[in-house]
Amino acid sequence: MKPLFRYLATAAVVALAIAIAAAKYWDYLVNPWTRDGQVMAQVVQIAPRVSGPIVQLPIVDNQFVKAGDLLFEIDPRTFAVAVDNALAKLDQTRDEIDALQDQVSAAEASVEDYTARIDQSASAVKQADASLFDAQATYDRVRPLAETGTVSRQRLDNATATLNGAIASKAAAEASLLSARAALRQEQADLAQAQATLGAPGAENAQLRAAFADAQTAQLNLEFTQVVAPVDGYVTNLNLRLGSQAVANQPALALVDVNSYWIAAYMRETTVANVRPGDRAVVTLMSYPDRPLEGRVDSLGWGIAVDDGSTGYNLLPNVAPTFEWIRLAQRVPVRVVLDTLPDGVELRIGNTASVLVMTGTAGGGDTTEVPPAPRALQ
């Protein structure tokens, strides 16, 4: 019986080991795992908006800074002079606009004056027409009577003189009306020219807005001499020195955003079919092997760079030789964001991590504790 018992016990242990191995293998198939993971974060390239020598550099390499802290300052004196010059030009523009407004007002008054003169000349023409009509009627009555001797020749001469005077008065009134109209057209042209030179009234004036914009640009350039941190982060690879020439729009230093860390887990394409955004993930950093970090799958990558088919020599496609009996699975990037970062754990870009994704947990509710990955597999 003893040999049979030993055989049965050995078989039971082997069967249990096989069952445990099968369960672990099935768990590995259901919950994909990789040790090809890296800590990533957004790196902000700090570039000045203006050029000039650096006169203040209150930071050192690898220093932590908060959003709004001064990183470095460019010599502001040239830009302060530019602000004064722009403000002076703004004042000058305002004075010029006031003068142009006076010219417009004077032109408008002249237009009104000549409009009144036209009305007066038109009234004079009407009066001259009436006088001419009366003189013509008198002349037409007196002339036949003078020819028959009914009235004296003197009376005919007086009627003729009155008629000629009325004709001359009408001609003078018409000439005055034409002159007033011509003068009005000239004044209207001068008014239009003055209004065009002045532009829109008030704050909408183009010259005033341009001068104000130049002043604002100069003020902004002065403010841009102080370069501040846009986010909380760590200054990295600082190579600036006092007196260094900062060049506009050229990166001067790097700032690692401490609020943007994530884990890039590169998993085989054969294991990500069931991975969904929101699935629970357990991250084990190589630098902290005994402190697993909790996280969630944020997203899965939709493409990776492919060497085969890329353009090569003579515009021909590059095709690498492969072994037909070996097919290597491609790696798909899975983005994992961490829920909380325990005290004492510091993340650095490029750190190595092992990542386990627990599929089917996107809905929440799974609070099973998962131990860190074995050291042999990290």
* CA–CA separation, 166 and 47 (whole Å): 87
Radius of gyration of the chain (CA): 48
Question: CB–CB of 31/279 below 8 Å?
Answer: no
Per-residue pLDDT for 76 more than 90?
Answer: yes
Tell me the C-alpha to C-alpha distance, in Å, between residue 309 and each of 314, 315, 322. 13, 11, 14
Q: Which has the higher per-residue pLDDT, 18 or 78?
A: 78
pLDDT tens sequence across 2-19: 566 666 677 777 777 777
pLDDT category at 121 given cuts 50, 70, 90 is confident
Q: Which has the higher per-residue pLDDT, 210 or 200?
A: 210
Tell me the C-alpha to C-alpha distance, in Å, between residue 258 and each of 41, 262, 294, 298. 7, 10, 18, 18
CATH topology of domain 29-42+258-377: Elongation Factor Tu (Ef-tu); domain 3 (2.40.30)
Statement: 79-219 belongs to CATH 3.40.50.970: no
Return the top range by mean pLDDT from 51-55, 107-111, 189-193: 51-55
Question: CB–CB of 253/342 below 8 Å?
Answer: no
pLDDT category at 127 given cuts 50, 70, 90 is confident
CATH code of the domain made up of 48-75+227-250:
2.40.50.100
The per-residue DSSP string of 332-369 comes to EEEEEEES---TT----TT-EEEEEEETT-TTS-----
The domain segmentation of the chain, as residue ranges, is 29-42+258-377, 48-75+227-250, 79-219
* CA–CA separation, 86 and 110 (whole Å): 36
The two structure tokens encoding residue 75 = 């010599």
Per-residue pLDDT for 378 more than 70?
Answer: no
Q: Which has the higher per-residue pLDDT, 165 or 351?
A: 351
Prediction pTM value: 0.69
Do the domains spanning 29-42+258-377 and 79-219 agree at the CATH topology level?
A: no
Tally the residues of the chain.
378
